[in-house]
Amino acid sequence: MRISALAAEAGLPLATVKYYLREGLLHPGVASSATQATYDESHVRRLRLVRALTGAVGLSVQQTRAILALVDDPGDDLYTTLGRAVSALPPTVHEASGDDPYPRARAALEALGQVYDPQYAAVAQLEAALEATEAAGLPMSEDRLLEYGRHLRAIAAFDLERMPHEPHAAVEYTVLGTALHERVLLALRRLAHQDVAAGRIAGR
Amino acid sequence: MRISALAAEAGLPLATVKYYLREGLLHPGVASSATQATYDESHVRRLRLVRALTGAVGLSVQQTRAILALVDDPGDDLYTTLGRAVSALPPTVHEASGDDPYPRARAALEALGQVYDPQYAAVAQLEAALEATEAAGLPMSEDRLLEYGRHLRAIAAFDLERMPHEPHAAVEYTVLGTALHERVLLALRRLAHQDVAAGRIAGR
């Protein structure tokens, strides 16, 4: 298809598609003449990914480019690539240093019996989140940690079971699934609170 | 205690405490002379709440004031007050109108067998989150919805069981527990992904 048809198919203004081409977020089409190129389903799919990353996920063009590089070249060590891709997603947290930079996160992960890689951004995120609950006078108790951890591990196992085997698709699934499903999870938790509370009032 | 001791106790600059007093986020102390007032534990507690709401939760002074008004006057209908307090937390979502403004959220909540109150902000949040997953080509399947929903409902039941009975404390617990524990939940999910993936590689 021509670039105008591609833009229509992706639901984006033509100028935006051209901008993504210039910025290297979209791979070039196949030249069909000196001034025209042809695009296919791979371009539609890429535009959908770029739109999600720059729109709903809220990444900059530069951050999006970094994630696309991992999608395009997952390398041989998929585990490390997935970790890097997720670490490139918001929220951005301050990296600490020292002998034991994330003491609260370390203690929590030890209590949960989980692997602990301090290089992984989510460790610093957990540390900051636990610190904030403490400062607010509502620290995570051990029983709450174990209860949350148990259910989130079940959700994570479900997510991993459905991850595509093909490496490029696996990176794309992991990035989008992490960022976009997080918002679903938080809305569902608030709605579950309301439902449980309504049930108590009704004596259910 | 004097205002300087209060600021030290709360770990805040004196100017910030005075600012909160002027803005009405902190209740006045008891006048001990024409130019001095005495503060107590209730002021320390309030400062900790204000600091969490304006800091970690990221609310403006005006948004914080709205939540404090609900903490201070929960009224007779605690269920509605808690709903309003949580609806005042981020993310802010666009309110829709029409006969069926949130079709994806309604269908999801029907599948989960949960109450559906379109006035509640989390319904619009769920709609926006589901729309984003669809647009990205990764729509929530029914089995994923049911799996996420089941575990989040268990987490919500845990949260509600531990809610203080005293209404002022209940509003405070709900606001802080919703906003601050969300960040813990998301970090724990990302870390659970890593742990499950590491386990698969190791053949656990």
Regarding whether B16 and B5 lie in a shared domain, the answer is yes
Question: Quick check: A73 and A91 in contact, CB under 8 A?
Answer: no
Regarding whether B89 and B108 lie in a shared domain, the answer is yes
pLDDT in tens for each of the 204 residues of chain B?
999 999 999 999 999 999 999 999 999 999 999 889 999 999 999 999 999 999 999 999 999 999 999 999 999 999 999 999 999 999 988 878 888 899 999 999 999 999 888 889 999 999 999 999 999 999 999 999 999 999 999 999 999 999 999 999 999 999 999 999 999 999 999 999 999 999 888 776
Kindly state whether residue A34 falls inside one of the protein's structural domains: no
* pLDDT over threshold 80, residue A204: no
Regarding whether B66 and B46 lie in a shared domain, the answer is no
Could you report the per-residue pLDDT of A98-115, keeping only the tens digit for each? 888 999 999 999 999 998
What type of residue sits at position A158? F
Kindly state whether residue A177 falls inside one of the protein's structural domains: yes
Average pLDDT over residues A22-34: 94
Residues facing A204 on adjacent strands: none
Question: Quick check: A26 and A43 in contact, CB under 8 A?
Answer: yes
In chain A, % of residues over pLDDT 70 = 100
What type of residue sits at position B97? S
Looking at residue B47, which CATH number applies to its domain? 1.10.1660.10
Kindly state whether residue A16 falls inside one of the protein's structural domains: no
Regarding whether B24 and B105 lie in a shared domain, the answer is no
* pLDDT over threshold 80, residue A119: yes
Q: Which residues of B touch A132 (CB under 8 A)?
A: 52, 55-56, 180, 183
Regarding whether B197 and B101 lie in a shared domain, the answer is yes
- The pLDDT, as a whole number, for residue A97 is 82
Distance CA(A64)–CA(A50), nearest Å, equals 7
Kindly state whether residue A166 falls inside one of the protein's structural domains: yes
Burial classification of residue A39, based on how many CB atoms lie within 10 Å of its CB (0-12 exposed, 13-18 middle, 19 or more buried): buried
- The pLDDT, as a whole number, for residue B92 is 84
Q: Which residues of B touch A86 (CB under 8 A)?
A: 190, 193
Any A CB within 8 A of B134 CB: no
The count of domains in chain B is: 2
Regarding whether B85 and B60 lie in a shared domain, the answer is yes
Regarding whether B80 and B128 lie in a shared domain, the answer is yes
* A47: nearest Cα among A73, A74, A16: A16
Regarding whether B91 and B146 lie in a shared domain, the answer is yes
Q: Is A136 left (phi over 0), alpha (psi -120 to 50) or beta?
A: alpha
At A152, the pLDDT band (50, 70, 90 cuts) reads very high
Average pLDDT over residues A14-37: 94
- The pLDDT, as a whole number, for residue B204 is 65
- The pLDDT, as a whole number, for residue A185 is 98
* pLDDT over threshold 70, residue A29: yes
Kindly state whether residue A37 falls inside one of the protein's structural domains: no
Kindly state whether residue A95 falls inside one of the protein's structural domains: yes
Kindly state whether residue A35 falls inside one of the protein's structural domains: no
Can you give A134-177 as a three-state secondary structure string? HHCCCCCCHHHHHHHHHHHHHHHHHHHHCCCCCHHHHHHHHHHH
Regarding whether B73 and B163 lie in a shared domain, the answer is yes
Kindly state whether residue A40 falls inside one of the protein's structural domains: no
- Coil, strand or helix: which one is A38? strand
- The pLDDT, as a whole number, for residue B21 is 95
Any B CB within 8 A of A171 CB: no
Restricting to B residues 13-52, those with a Cβ less than 8 Å away from any Cβ of A are: 45, 48-49, 51-52
- The pLDDT, as a whole number, for residue A92 is 84
Question: Which residue range(s) make up the domain with B101?
Answer: 55-201
> In this predicted complex, what is the ipTM?
0.94
* pLDDT over threshold 80, residue A203: no
